[in-house]
Structure 1
């Protein structure tokens, strides 16, 4: 639930120098930040996420500062760490987020305690489920504060263990949230088993994913929205490599008809998507195919789970995050994406843009 912020919060936003070592930091910052904190800040190139310092004046320099980043095309700000007067830094970041029209502030739990976060109006995030990858997943704890709306119910978070199993993971996360799958049963075996049933090698296209969900959970209501009858996600292929995958996509449509999975040959609108995930008393989820060009800088298709909405933004679970740019699970969990951004990034293809979505209704 949003917490009021005092109107008279004085702060300044200072550019961050990516890759700069501790000795390159301003004296005002080195005076209030521990060397190991600054070392972690400079250990990765955070430039793709517009890193900045939100500072609070005091004592002839800075009384507090916070390193703040965020994915492009989203509606949140992330506090990597707050140093100096931590409560003052948190108030400053929240005020900054509100002035920027952001709906959420999250806080990585590298150095902040649960008590400090709670005192600043932040709620603890559920720890992520154990994943099937050895890549570092970030801090053990994280915190969230909504600045718009009441927030949304928090699902479990799980990171995909491969570069191609995002569709399977989003479907499993939807079923965990619906109570169909136990959280402890979501592991790499479950992930790869569902991916094997849904894959078009290696990607999961919308019809095949919808069919795999119905096969795995026959009692789940599943609908597919895809505004083309042509094969999708094959623009990077030609010749036989394209044709045999197209054969499998046609077979998926036959399976959908046999299993009673509706395949709507039209585009799911953002208004319909919001209506689905906001339906009172229902547990409806939309698996949405997006391009990562805006959020990550590379134009590859990727599945995310849309499970809630706040004013101006849809809240998604992204089962992948970019550790090379300083991301952790805190960036990908309860991620608010403005309606216009989501509308743009969910149109894929070349000259003819299409949208693929799978609607799962848990009742």
Structure 2
């Protein structure tokens, strides 16, 4: 049975167009499910239907709505209707053809039993609902190469500007430095208040705040420019005092023993850091994944063949993008290298957090 699910006899892939439902999909029923599919504009995430045709070719026995963030290495099943096992098997085969690393399945209608039978494991639900959440309460994941990196907790940032604070807190929770119960909104805002360049967190200030919060954890800032960063969108009068704060952060880094490495972290260097048991807070542009060029912090915490695995503390509910997309998100190495060149002039910023002194690789 498992082998048949891996290699379905036939499937078809057609675009999913908002406001339009193919007749073959209508015949499968589940109109309330299809209505939810049309409730948001998913066009930015390449929505498509993976369907299993009936023997006569004019009908379908099953169909799944599939989406994914651009420039990533996964596919997401929003729902499957009809013969659900056949639909899911068709999506897994489709993902293998596309050389994806992972398939996720949102838990709108999927039962834990159906997901387990299809080879999926449950995702840990978010510790707090992401901002403007419209996501499901549960989700499931299947790694197609057999590798399954250790799963950190998912915490969705509760403001538009605390991504840096959240990535640092999730990293330390994943490393066992912080108890999971300590990861809450108070911790998020407290850490942000110490790290912020108002309102964003720039690399040096974030690294200094991490050193102050966890003095036993080795911290290195990676920033390949000496000029103030992440200020170009502001009026000149607003840039000046924030630039002063960044110069103060450089002085604080010297005083607290936080090195600032002028070499950018490539995907290969990130893999090396992860192999040493470190976590990498990486500054990326959201232009590739979300369509707008805004600097944003994500956490690199795992590696699988061909992709690095990140936690993104933000999801865009207006696009049907949920915590299931943002959690355990694989991004191919070349794509992550492109994302980490932050506009307008392509600077690179990151912070590496090592295990507390005296601990080696392994553990949490």
TM-score normalized with structure 2 length: 0.94
Q: How many angstroms does 1:361 deviate by?
A: 0.6
In structure 2, the gaps of 5 or more residues are 360-364
Residue 352 of structure 2: aligned partner: 359
DSSP-derived class of the 1:204 partner: coil
Residue 157 of structure 2: aligned partner: 160
Residue 88 of structure 2: aligned partner: 90
Residue 341 of structure 1: aligned partner: 335
DSSP-derived class of the 2:6 partner: coil
Does the CA contact (< 8 Å) of 1:228 and 1:266 recur in 2? no
1:276 is aligned to 2:276: no
Q: Aligned to 1:177, which of 174, 190, 194?
A: 174
Q: How many angstroms does 1:132 deviate by?
A: 7.4
Q: How many angstroms does 1:149 deviate by?
A: 4.5
1:188 is aligned to 2:181: no
- Looking at structure 2, the residues matched to 98 and 136 of structure 1 have their Cα atoms a distance apart, in angstroms, of 30
- Looking at structure 2, the residues matched to 35 and 215 of structure 1 have their Cα atoms a distance apart, in angstroms, of 54
Does the CA contact (< 8 Å) of 1:131 and 1:187 recur in 2? no
1:120 is aligned to 2:118: yes
Residue 104 of structure 1: aligned partner: 102
1:202 is aligned to 2:195: no
- Looking at structure 1, the residues matched to 186 and 8 of structure 2 have their Cα atoms a distance apart, in angstroms, of 52
Residue 259 of structure 1: aligned partner: 256
1:43 is aligned to 2:39: yes
Q: Deviations over 1:5-26 (max 9, x none)?
A: 63454111011112x1xxx412
DSSP-derived class of the 2:209 partner: helix
- Looking at structure 1, the residues matched to 138 and 275 of structure 2 have their Cα atoms a distance apart, in angstroms, of 28
Does the CA contact (< 8 Å) of 2:130 and 2:314 recur in 1? no
DSSP-derived class of the 1:336 partner: strand
Does the CA contact (< 8 Å) of 1:132 and 1:188 recur in 2? no
Q: Deviations over 1:88-134 (max 9, x none)?
A: 0010000000000100000000001000000000011111102474x
- Looking at structure 1, the residues matched to 46 and 119 of structure 2 have their Cα atoms a distance apart, in angstroms, of 25
- Looking at structure 1, the residues matched to 249 and 29 of structure 2 have their Cα atoms a distance apart, in angstroms, of 56
Does the CA contact (< 8 Å) of 2:126 and 2:154 recur in 1? yes
Residue 17 of structure 2: aligned partner: 17
Q: Aligned to 1:307, which of 301, 308, 331?
A: 301
Does the CA contact (< 8 Å) of 1:235 and 1:349 recur in 2? no
Q: Aligned to 1:33, which of 29, 35, 47?
A: 29
- Looking at structure 1, the residues matched to 52 and 236 of structure 2 have their Cα atoms a distance apart, in angstroms, of 60
- Looking at structure 2, the residues matched to 306 and 31 of structure 1 have their Cα atoms a distance apart, in angstroms, of 43
DSSP-derived class of the 1:340 partner: helix
- Looking at structure 1, the residues matched to 243 and 112 of structure 2 have their Cα atoms a distance apart, in angstroms, of 51
- Looking at structure 1, the residues matched to 175 and 220 of structure 2 have their Cα atoms a distance apart, in angstroms, of 16
- Looking at structure 1, the residues matched to 268 and 166 of structure 2 have their Cα atoms a distance apart, in angstroms, of 25
DSSP-derived class of the 2:165 partner: helix
- CA gap 1:238/1:136 in 2 versus in 1, 3 angstroms: closer
Does the CA contact (< 8 Å) of 1:9 and 1:91 recur in 2? no
- Looking at structure 2, the residues matched to 77 and 353 of structure 1 have their Cα atoms a distance apart, in angstroms, of 29
- CA gap 1:95/1:9 in 2 versus in 1, 3 angstroms: farther
1:130 is aligned to 2:128: yes
Q: Deviations over 1:49-96 (max 9, x none)?
A: 000000001154101000000000000000000000000001000000
Q: Which moved more, 1:263-272 or 1:105-114?
A: 263-272
Q: How many angstroms does 1:231 deviate by?
A: 0.6
Residue 326 of structure 1: aligned partner: 320
DSSP-derived class of the 1:309 partner: strand
- CA gap 1:145/1:3 in 2 versus in 1, 3 angstroms: farther
